[in-house]
Structure formats: structure tokens, C-alpha cells
Structure 1
Amino acid sequence: MESRSQRILKRPEWSINRAYYKSMGYTDSDLDKPIIGIANAWSTTVPGHYNLRKVSDAVKEGIRAAGGTPVEFGVIGACDGIAEGHEGMRYILPTRDIIANSIELVVQAHQYDGIVMIGSCDKIVPGMLMAAARLDLPSILVNGGPMLGGPEIHGRKSDTTSIIEGVGKLSNGEITEEKLIEMEDQCAPTCGSCSFLGTANTMCCIAEAIGMSLTQSAMIPAVYKERLLSAQKSGEAIVDLVKKGINARQVINKKSIENAVRLCSAIGGSTNAALHIPAIAYEARVDFDMESFDTLSRSTPLIAKMNPAATFNVIDFHESGGVPVVMNEIRSMLNEDVMTSTGKTMGENLEGYLSPNNEIVKTLENPHSAMGGLAVLAGNLAPNTAVTKPAAIKEDMLKFTGPAIVFDSEQEANEAIMRHEVKAGQVVVIRYEGPKGGPGMPEMFKAMKLLYGMGLADKVALVTDGRFSGTNNGTFVGHISPEAQEGGPIAVVENGDIIEIDIPERKLNIEISDEEMKSRLEKWTAPKARVSEGYLYIYGKLAESADKGAIIKTRD
């Protein structure tokens, strides 16, 4: 069967296309081989992407060694960390769709035979996986690896979140500004995705669990030689996938998505996975809703525990065996027969991996917790569900009831917290920060970190129609759907209303009568949209709700 690339490179009809390639130094021999697109999110603005040129070079070596021709193009990528806590965070989630769209456009315009996607961070990895599922070509994802941890602070290796916690401690007079600067200098000693189990590393682990990355590749540190060796093997693997005709939807399907949810729950991954997995499922033409997500999460125990749920970081997790060790431990719950980017089934990939049963990775018989790492709640405050992360919540905080203190924006809440207006026992409500209301569904990262730094993390709860960073801990509930901008019940919560959070029972309620709720909603009117131009305006108009993955529909 004639390949995609050869259909537009045959002489004499397509000699002009060969001429274009030859102008860049490609030879006839190069053009007679499978043409492999490399979508590279390298930049010097994202720490997790700083080393991706070297990673890409290693991928190219592998492609050439296996008999293919690499063709590289750039993909945007923004840093969640740099965007946190200010207007820039509204732009982060919308980049996911731009990334998926841009990869689709280039790959289809140039008719590549296969695609290697290189990225490491929060919205880049899911955007790439969405593109792969949409294109349904031979595909593989390669990440650049996490950074190493910094000097130990309060019993754990420091990382970039240590800074914002330090700001809260500085506000309380617990540390000096000199100490904060010292933390700033030392907490991120190398490039790479951040060393905790935030969204970036969660999604890299999910990429491996879903079968789109090589086995045990997800958490190889950015500065280890094994990172480049894995990249080279990935280059060889993509050519093999092209030759065998193994396309992305043979890898990304209902069974592999179920595996990914179980892995995410077993490691206590970021709540953002509850946005990205449904979005990937949508592009793969798989019916998958939040009820399915919770069913899988509820029945999967917490096997591995790391920062922000424990003192260990993802480097420690990698050295304990990483993703395949955990997947092997929950193997009885997995769909082993699914194809992967290695050209083998998931079951074949997991052969030989045994659980170390240490402080990081436990066994199925002796897990960290019988409750999975993520939970989906519902109730009269979240009729279409909300998401939380039991793995990052102390056991005595899994149930919380208290009076609401309501804010109509993240900034308003952060300023009130810094003024010490939030008191123990309250439930902080931050609304109009959903996909449409934000617009862009920003993370409430800073609010939780400020509360932690002020000693309130285990004394208050926070609920929002926005989302959270994978590094947050404490009693928090996000992704409340419908969001306030769409007239969801969170829009009519008033100061002093009693809110009940019951994570074991999966409930999120406001203690008012149905009649009172109906009366308030009938009086409610939508506020004017915050943004009236630019891409955020488009996103706010088109984005679906959080329970649907905050997607922009790409088909009828």
C-alpha cells in the first residue's frame, strides 16, 4: 500500500514537492523513506521544554537508524508555573486546543506517515495526545523528563511550590526575605518539568499508561543520560509503528483510557486529568463521562504516594520503578490486551516488573489508601459533578462543613486571604472562573498555597468552578459544573450559606431548600463577559463545560 508521504512525492507529478524538500538538503534517499513529523514544543520560556532540542536530536537519530526521515516543526507551549496567580493563567488551558489544532494542520498539510510529539508540561502533553487521537496515524509521545529536587525544607526536597508557601510564611513573619531569596535560588536546580506530581508529570505518566510512550520512560529525569537513550528508542519505535500500520486509535481506545484512569487514581494524579482524559477520549471517538471516571477511580486503591501527598518527589518514584511497577501491581484491574507504542500489548510491556513495597510504592494488599487518588462529587451545588483529590487531603478533612465566604474572582480571593479575612472553619467559594467565566478556567493554585503558608490548609475548605494545580493539597473541590457563568448553583451561593463536602460519600451540597435555590436562580442574571476580544473571547464562546473536558468541539 502506498504511504501518505509517497502520494505527494511521486515523480513526475509531484517533483515540485521533492524540489521543496531538496532546497533544505533532503536527498532522494531521504524522500523514499517514511517521512516522520516531529512536533517539538522546545522553547527557552518553559523549564520543562528547555532540553527538548537535545531530546529531539536523539529522536532523529533513532528515526534515521530505523530507516525513516525526520521532519521537525515547532509547537507552542506556555509554563503554568510562570502563569500562576495572575491574568496569564486564563490563557493556559486554551493553549491545549491550539496545540492539538496546530499539529493536525501541519501533519495533514504535509501528509506525514507518522508523528513523534515532544513535550513535557501541563497542557502541551494532553494537547499532543488529543492531536494524535484526532489524526489516527502512527504516533508516539516523548517527554523531556522532570527536574531534580532542591535542598530539603521541612522534611522534603524543595521545589517551585516551596516559594509560594514561603511567601505565606513571610507574610506570617515565620521567615525572612533573605531566606525566601535563598529558596528562590535553590529550589529548581535543573531544567525539566517540576519535580512534584503536578499536572505535567501526571500527564506524562498517563501517556505511558495509555500506551503512547515507551515503558518506564515517563519519569526519567531531564538531566539523566537515560532520557536521551529513551528518546532514541522512541525514534526507532515510530518507524516500526509506521511499517506495522499501528495507528493512534489502536492504542488510544476505551480500554487504554480505562487503564489511564486507574493509573492516575493509583498514583494520586492531578485533578486536571479529569479535564484532559475526557478530552482525549472525545478525540478518540470514545464515549467516556465523569461517572465512568469515578467508577474506575473509586475501585482503584492509592498504590503510590508522592508530593504533594507525601514528602517524596517524582524522582524518588522513578527510582522505585515508576509507572510500570504501579501498573503491574494493579494488573488484575487493567486491560492487558491493548496495543501500545512499543508494538507490544500492555501486558507484554509489564512482564518482569515487581512492586518494591516501600514507602513510595505499596502493594494492592497493603495500599496507602483503599480510596483512589481522585474522586468525582455531585449534589445540589454541583449537579453535573465536581472533582477533588483525596490523595492530597488529610483523612480528618475528607468531610468538611462550614459557612461560605464568597468571591467572584481568584484575584479577589487572594487579596482577601492576604488581608487575613479568611478564618478557620470557613468554605472559600471562588466562582466565575470556569471555562466560559474565566474565561479559560484558571487554577486556584495561589489561594491554596497562601492558605497553606498561613497555617489554614487544614482548617478551611475551598470550592470553585475553576480548577487546581496538581501540587495543591488540603480540602478543595474544583470543576464545579455547571459553572457560575452558565447559571450553575454556585452562582447564587451567599456569604454564610452552609456548604457540606463529603468526599467518601461523593457529595457536595449547599444547605438551602430546593425552593430557595430555585428562587435565587430565577433572580440571577449572567454578568458581562470579562473578555471581549482575542482568543479568550473565542474560547469563552466555544468551550464546553468542565465535566465534558472543557473541549472545543471539532465535529458534529
Structure 2
Amino acid sequence: MENKKDLRIRSHVISEGVNRVPNRSMLRAVGFKDEDFKKPMIGIASTWSEVTPCNIHIDRLAEQAKAGAKDNGGAPMIFNTITVSDGIAMGHEGMFYSLPSREVIADSIETVTSAERLDGIVAIGGCDKTTPACVMAIARMNIPSVYVYGGTIQPGKLNGKDIDIVSSFEAVGQFQEGLINEEELYKVECHACPGAGACGGMYTANTMAAAVEALGMSIPGSSSTPAVNDYKESECRQAGELVVNLLEQDIYPRDIMTKEAFENAITVVMALGGSTNAFLHLLAMAHSAEVDLTLDDFERVRQNVPHLADLKPSGKYVMQDLYEVGGVPAVMKLLNENGLLHGDCITVTGKTVAENLAEVPSLKEGQDVIRPMDNPLKPNGPLVVLRGNLAPEGAVAKMSGQKISRFVGPARVYDSEAEATKAIEDNQIKAGDVLVIRHVGPKGGPGMPEMLSITAMIVGRGLGGKVALMTDGRFSGGSHGFVIGHVSPEAHVGGPIGLLKEGDIVTIDSDTQEINFDITPEEFEQRRNEWKKPAPKHKSGILAKYARLVSSSSKGAVTDLDLE
């Protein structure tokens, strides 16, 4: 790791010495003038793409960030990376590439920034993986940086009600069950996503944007301002200006991303009832920042944070509704006033969390998007870590919107999402069953696919809360119901979920935080001895590389753990 002062001037070598003439020639070709070689070089990492509405507008935002950096004395350049649309990848083999895309994005930003010797970065993301990936790259490189979230989509409207992408998935289940006809299904399809922006509920994109704002790596208000709001362009211009200021003040990402800052991020995720994917992504971001964060930290913070936000998928409102009553800054202000945040953490504004929040208006009077502290939806955070003989390294349950906390039933075991989907379509899954989908973990998937299609089918068929779903894969932020993911160790490496047999009685209890199956020690040992490691599903390409490198989900499913 280079020291801060070396990092501060690392791009300036381009203007020094006869041997640097070719470097300057290359930059003159892309628009640099003599005076630009005396300025810090600022990279604008854009995740613009036409493959998803989450990122369709980010090219315009990148131009604004570039203008802000230039106006404040920087020499900015835009470069791009990839994105994957989870909504489009969902329910088929494309989903195996979703989580690996996080590593591709982080690696590509690190590669370009390090190869070009850039002095600072503005990274602009939108869909689920771009936010954690950008922050992972920023944490690895530790050069002055600001993250900007592209913003949430506005809700679609149908028959006077708000709908979103999850409505589309659930409508498929309703159609298959005969609850709606083809014309009604078509109307949902046409109205669910009205324009630019990431999925509108407290799903993964909005969860991670809120977490990064709480972490201190984005400008206050970034996570809840809608994509189509004019302020987004102003925010990006401000982000470009801020990066130059951070260089001047010697404020670096690892000065911001401390253990206390990660605790702030977890606090906000719990209060908002965010996506279970926050566990994976915050663990990975902390790993990149060399911060010691574990599942136990999530559980420790959760115990003291009430669930306040009545947001989809289990609640009533969407992110735009939260924005209209004060947004994430107003929620953070409430949490800070009640002693639940580390207010002395520094942020990209150069001010502390508490200093930023002192300038923020409180939540609007009379609103019911965010419950009062003395009347929460749940007294503790709804994202619960479970452990037991099925998940000795841990599993994650999302209990928001659940009326029951304990589920006991027979295991219905499937080794792929496709097999489980067919079982649901054939009405083989009944109320009281524990539907198990395994061999879909980070290595076994490979890629730890999300199960939104499955959970939407269950809800659409009227089995929400009546069937438990357990997997070593993961869930979309849009999933709801009695769902338990990230079971670790995964089946592919010999985890106990791989030893389950059809009909084994499984107990899941969020109060006692247990996840067990009824088996004698002798039977357990016999099954373990009989277990054989499955052959790799891929022998070449990105999924083969990913499966060889990726860590357990309990470690964030990162690909650079213990490489020495």
C-alpha cells in the first residue's frame, strides 16, 4: 500500500521527465491541454448501460461529475464498467452471473484506476451489484473518492395503486394459479417500470445505497433522491467538486470506512428493513477496507435497532415515498438523536455524520412511512442471523412482515431452482413444508443465484408465510415470506444442508435463532461419511474461475480471500 502523500501526487509523474512525453501525447489526444498536466487526474467510473433501467441515465450523471471535478481544478476522465440486470437475469441461468458481476465491476474499476494512476474517483452506480462493487474498489485503492447512487425508480401505477418489478413476478404466480387472466398480467408488465432508476422498494439497490450513505461514502440524500429528480445532476456535479476537496484535505476512504462507520451502515439497514444481500455486500466492502466485520457484528447491532420503515416488499411504501417525507437523512437524524449512530464518523463532505445531520430537516409531521421510535414495526432489526446443525457458520432470515417466528416442517429437498420451480408448478409443495434449494451457494451455483422467482411464485399462489424456503443461495431484496438464505457452509463443500434428506424435520426459530434438523449424532456422522463432493459445473470461463476463488457467504463471497 502506498502512503497517502505518494497517492496524492501519483498521476503527476505523467508531466515529469522526457520519458513521459508519450504519456502526455496520449492524453493530448483525448483533450488534455498544458495546464491539465498540473492538475490531479480524476476518474469518473460510470456504470451506464442500456441493459437495465437502473443505469440507463448514468451517462448524463457522469458528465455532470466530470464538469464538477473540472470546475474545481481537476483533470477528469470518464471510463465505464459493466452492469447486470438482476430482474432480467432472474429465474434462469443468467442469474449465476449476477453476484460474480460484483467482482468484475470492482476489479475493472481497480484495474483502470491503478493502470492510469488516477488521483481520485467519482463512482456512479445504480443496480444491485454496482453500489457494493464501486465501494469495494474504492476501499481497495484508498484514493480520495465519492460514491453517487443513480437513484430509485418511480413507482408504476395500475388501477390507482403503486406497483413495481416484484408485482410482475408475483403476477406470474397469480396467473399460474388462475387468480388473474392474461390481459391483467399484460397490464402489470406494461406498467411496473415507468422509467429510469433502480427497483423502487427497500430492495437490494436501495438498501445498499442507504448503507453507503450511512457509511459516509456518499453525499447526504444520495440514496433516497429519485433517479428522475433534477437534484441528481447537481449531486453528481457536487461529487466531482468534493473529490478534489478530499485530495486537498488528505481524507481517504479508509479514514471514512471504519468499524464504527460499518456499524452505522448496519444500523440504517436494520431500521429500514433492508435486503439480506446487505450481509454479503457489507462483509465484502469491509474486507476490501481491511475492517474486521463478521455476522456477529450484524447481530450485535440488530439487538439495539428497531425496525421503523413500512417499506416494500413486506410493507406498504416505496423509496420515493420515503424521499417525500425526508429521505434517508431524516431517518439517520432520528437514529442519531436516539443515540444509535456514531455521530463522530467522518464523511465525504469533510464533516462528521453529526455535523451533516444537524443541517437536515426532521421527518415530516403526520407521515407513516417511518414509525416513531416508541411504536416500531419490530423492537429489533428484522434481519436475523441463525445458527444450528444446519448452518454452523450462520444463515440469514428476513423476518419483516412475518406474523410467526417459528416454523417446523418436513424438508422438501431440491438440488436446483429449476427442480423446485417444477415442484411448485405441479402443486407438490403444500402448506407446512420446508422447501430446500441447495447446491446453489457461491461455489455450488456457482454464483449464489437469487430466488425471487421462487418466492414470488409461493406468494402468488397464496402460500406466503405458510411455506418456509431455505437455501444456500440468496434472495432478492424483493423477496418476502418465511425465507432463510446464505446457509453456510454450503452444500457444495459438504455443509450440513447437503446432508438433508426428503422428510427430515427442520426447525427454524428466529426468537431462539436456531436452524436445525432432527437427526442423531450417529446418523449425522454416517451421512457425512457417505457424502461425495460434486463435480464442478464449469471447467472454463468466468464461472469456473469464480467457483475456484470465491469464499463462503459468511465471509462475503469475495474472491481475494487468503490468496497467498
TM range (shorter): over 0.9
Aligned length: 553
Between the aligned partners of 1:387 and 1:171, the Cα distance in structure 2 is: 29
Residue aligning to 2:502: 495
Residue aligning to 2:223: 218
Residue aligning to 1:416: 423
Between the aligned partners of 2:293 and 2:171, the Cα distance in structure 1 is: 40
Choose the corresponding residue for 2:33, options 2, 24, 27: 27
- TM-align CA RMSD: 1.4
Give structure 1 stretches of 5+ with no counterpart.
Answer: none
> Is the CA contact (8 Å cut-off) linking 2:421 and 2:454 kept in structure 1?
yes
Q: Matches of residues 136-535 of structure 1 in structure 2 within 5 Å?
A: 136-152=142-158, 156-331=161-336, 332-351=339-358, 352-356=360-364, 358-391=367-400, 393-396=401-404, 398-535=405-542
Between the aligned partners of 1:259 and 1:181, the Cα distance in structure 2 is: 42
- Per the TM alignment, residue 47 of structure 1 is displaced from its structure 2 partner at its CA by 1.1
Give structure 2 stretches of 5+ with no counterpart.
Answer: none
Between the aligned partners of 2:111 and 2:207, the Cα distance in structure 1 is: 27
> Is the CA contact (8 Å cut-off) linking 2:450 and 2:475 kept in structure 1?
yes
Residue aligning to 2:70: 64
Residue aligning to 1:73: 79
Q: Secondary structure at the match of 1:476?
A: strand
Q: Secondary structure at the match of 2:65?
A: helix
Between the aligned partners of 1:300 and 1:75, the Cα distance in structure 2 is: 36
Q: Secondary structure at the match of 2:487?
A: coil
Between the aligned partners of 1:452 and 1:541, the Cα distance in structure 2 is: 35
1:204-226: CA deviation from partner (whole Å, max 9, x where unpaired): 11111101110011121111111
Between the aligned partners of 1:378 and 1:14, the Cα distance in structure 2 is: 57
2:345 partner letter: V
Between the aligned partners of 1:110 and 1:82, the Cα distance in structure 2 is: 33
Residue aligning to 2:47: 41
Between the aligned partners of 1:281 and 1:240, the Cα distance in structure 2 is: 24
Between the aligned partners of 1:386 and 1:138, the Cα distance in structure 2 is: 35
Between the aligned partners of 2:158 and 2:118, the Cα distance in structure 1 is: 47
1:102-151: CA deviation from partner (whole Å, max 9, x where unpaired): 11111111111100111111111111110011001101111211111111
Between the aligned partners of 2:229 and 2:364, the Cα distance in structure 1 is: 22
Identity %: 41
Between the aligned partners of 2:452 and 2:524, the Cα distance in structure 1 is: 29
Between the aligned partners of 2:221 and 2:449, the Cα distance in structure 1 is: 31
1:58-98: CA deviation from partner (whole Å, max 9, x where unpaired): 11121122111211111111111110000000011011111
Residue 549 of structure 2 corresponds to residue 548 of structure 1: no
Between the aligned partners of 1:38 and 1:178, the Cα distance in structure 2 is: 44
Q: Secondary structure at the match of 1:403?
A: strand
1:102 partner letter: S
1:417-439: CA deviation from partner (whole Å, max 9, x where unpaired): 11111011100000000000000
Between the aligned partners of 1:395 and 1:371, the Cα distance in structure 2 is: 15
> Is the CA contact (8 Å cut-off) linking 2:158 and 2:188 kept in structure 1?
no
Between the aligned partners of 1:84 and 1:493, the Cα distance in structure 2 is: 26
- Per the TM alignment, residue 373 of structure 1 is displaced from its structure 2 partner at its CA by 2.7
Give TM-score, length-normalised by structure 2.
0.96
Range 322-331 or range 483-492, more displaced: 322-331
Between the aligned partners of 2:411 and 2:35, the Cα distance in structure 1 is: 68
- Per the TM alignment, residue 305 of structure 1 is displaced from its structure 2 partner at its CA by 2.3
Q: Secondary structure at the match of 2:146?
A: strand
Residue 123 of structure 2 corresponds to residue 117 of structure 1: yes
Q: Secondary structure at the match of 1:193?
A: coil
1:335-370: CA deviation from partner (whole Å, max 9, x where unpaired): 111111111111111114423463111232222210
1:317 partner letter: L
2:426 partner letter: R
> Is the CA contact (8 Å cut-off) linking 1:407 and 1:431 kept in structure 2?
yes
Choose the corresponding residue for 1:15, options 10, 21, 26: 21
Between the aligned partners of 1:518 and 1:150, the Cα distance in structure 2 is: 53
> Is the CA contact (8 Å cut-off) linking 1:253 and 1:286 kept in structure 2?
yes
Between the aligned partners of 1:386 and 1:322, the Cα distance in structure 2 is: 30
> Is the CA contact (8 Å cut-off) linking 1:355 and 1:362 kept in structure 2?
no
Between the aligned partners of 1:362 and 1:29, the Cα distance in structure 2 is: 54
Between the aligned partners of 1:80 and 1:504, the Cα distance in structure 2 is: 32
> Is the CA contact (8 Å cut-off) linking 2:66 and 2:78 kept in structure 1?
no
1:371 partner letter: N
Range 462-471 or range 298-307, more displaced: 298-307
Please list every run of at least 4 consecutive aligned residues from structure 1 whose deviation after the TM superposition is greater than 6 angstroms: none
> Is the CA contact (8 Å cut-off) linking 1:99 and 1:124 kept in structure 2?
yes
1:360 partner letter: V
Give TM-score, length-normalised by structure 1.
0.97
1:427-452: CA deviation from partner (whole Å, max 9, x where unpaired): 00000000000000001111110011
- Per the TM alignment, residue 3 of structure 1 is displaced from its structure 2 partner at its CA by 1.3
Residue aligning to 1:84: 90
Between the aligned partners of 1:28 and 1:293, the Cα distance in structure 2 is: 51
- Per the TM alignment, residue 11 of structure 1 is displaced from its structure 2 partner at its CA by 4.2
